[in-house]
Structure 1
């Protein structure tokens, strides 16, 4: 059994913390939302009234937060994780943030005797609920090995992808591929329907050929039905596309398709769809074709 402090109990973090409780770990969670804390308590976890309370007795602290300012505040703040951590603590940030933020947190952790891994995830709310996430981990191999039993409780594909920050770069690559695939599936639907072809039938065929993808498997029916209940919000994908473009600038490479997809995601947000699932890129494509 490991004593885990879990900070960020939203649509991803809540189910993940619950799986760790089910696996027999002692989990103390903290979140700004009282409903999130209540759900963890109902699942058998403990709740904390502050970051400090969640961290003080923990062997491992996991953060699952929306963006780098939140992670930096929680980890580096005056009464944050590092201010309250025991020496030797393993800090696992499973948020999707800028690689440079992960590197800064790693350096701050070293100064406090805290080991750090960046371990962003892919799979959305469904993957979190089903303990089927893909987890891409950056950091020291020994720290990855120590964390692997915890990762195995929340994910199916768990890979050490390289040194500190590498997990965030792989996640940026994941998000540009996901965004690009959604954009193309949206265009396929618009083309099929405008041509008088049943979109469901057409996508069923695509899903059985070289165009097959996980997105087609999971989302083609809901996209055709215009059901955009969020498994992952447009707002968050907008943030992630910014991370991908910033990483491209840092690496001094050109990602022109990523730039275009980032603009489509930004358009979805500007059109008021930020709270919808990222498959709602279909609404942008329809609007561009005068079919919205």
Structure 2
């Protein structure tokens, strides 16, 4: 018997995922805090309900895609939330990126009501959700994952079970710190090429063929060169994710100096008003600190003050 699907959170990631389940012929019911987000999916054949609790009464599995830890807590445990309408056996798959500690607490509360929670954050951005090529990092019971795996395969290309509750969120934290630091490295490479009067597009093409090649250099590098920052993944959300990374590190007594530094660059981008742009916009923060023009000769070299020259 096919599982009846419920979706909460119909933004950049949630909407295309729900759309793919509908296109695959699944019965999908949706609820969003913003009613306008529901309309495009209704035209595709989705049903809508008045609350998260009503959704829980009607479906077998709920997929959540909301912004932050308090949002997940509200839609699952708040007034009119999932737990109000849930019955034993309901499965909740949370694709949000939130605190691993909070995930474990939520899993325990829901388990007391007979509800199974999988933390299943994703990587791949909006295009990955549209194409069904997301990487899905899953924490929770392996047997529960197998029940929903056919549904996850509609939206994801790589589905990995990492362990118990919270393991998916810790893995997403690892993903986000790697992405943040690689974005900063790509930014620095592009700004260095620009300052040295080297074509950054040609530099990028050269590096893509070698060991420095990466998906970040390919996708975000092009955004930086074109200075076009439509998300993608919004800077304010990456800022939130890096806060989760640093909070987790603090709870574990773990120093992550690279993550802390890249988090400050992302924080600066948000502070400069780029929160709704793709997080590749950190390149613009670095450009603000770069020389106004390319370095052409020794007189302009940033090392001129510390490197003695012959005859001087």
In the alignment, the residues of structure 2 paired with residue 180 and residue 263 of structure 1 have an alpha-carbon distance, to the nearest angstrom, of 11
Report if aligned partners of 2:187, 2:221 keep a CA contact under 8 Å in 1: no
In the alignment, the residues of structure 2 paired with residue 230 and residue 291 of structure 1 have an alpha-carbon distance, to the nearest angstrom, of 27
Moved more, 193-202 or 18-27: 18-27
Distance in 1 (CA, whole Å) between partners of 2:291 and 2:167 is: 41
Q: Which residue of the partner structure matches residue 213 of structure 1? A: 214
How do residues 14-33 of structure 1 correspond to structure 2 at under 5 angstroms? 14-33=15-34
Q: Which runs of 5+ in 1 are unaligned?
A: none
Q: What CA distance in whole angstroms lies between the structure 1 residues aligned with 2:266 and 2:44?
A: 35
Equivalent positions of 1:98-177 (< 5 A) are 98-177=99-178
Counterpart contact for 1:40–1:47, Cα < 8 Å: no
Structure 2: runs of 5+ lacking an equivalent = 294-312
- The Cα shift of 1:7 comes to 0.4
Q: Is the 8 A contact 1:132 1:155 kept in 2?
A: yes
Q: What TM-score do you get using the length of structure 2 for normalisation?
A: 0.91
Provide the rounded CA distance (Å) in 2 between the counterparts of 1:222 and 1:162: 35
Q: Distance in 2 between matches of 1:130 and 1:82?
A: 32
| Cα distance per residue 1:152-171 (max 9 Å; x no partner) | 01111110011100000000
Q: Distance in 2 between matches of 1:31 and 1:291?
A: 46
Q: What is the 5 A alignment of 1:34-49? A: 34-49=35-50
How do residues 260-271 of structure 1 correspond to structure 2 at under 5 angstroms? 260-271=261-272
State the Cα distance separating 1:47 from its structure 2 match.
1.6
TM-score by length of 1: 0.97
Question: Larger Rg: 1 or 2?
Answer: 2
SS at match of 2:161: strand
Count of residue pairs brought into register by the alignment: 292
Is contact 1:93-1:118 (8 Å) kept? yes
- What RMSD over aligned residues (CA atoms) do the two structures have, in Å? 1.2
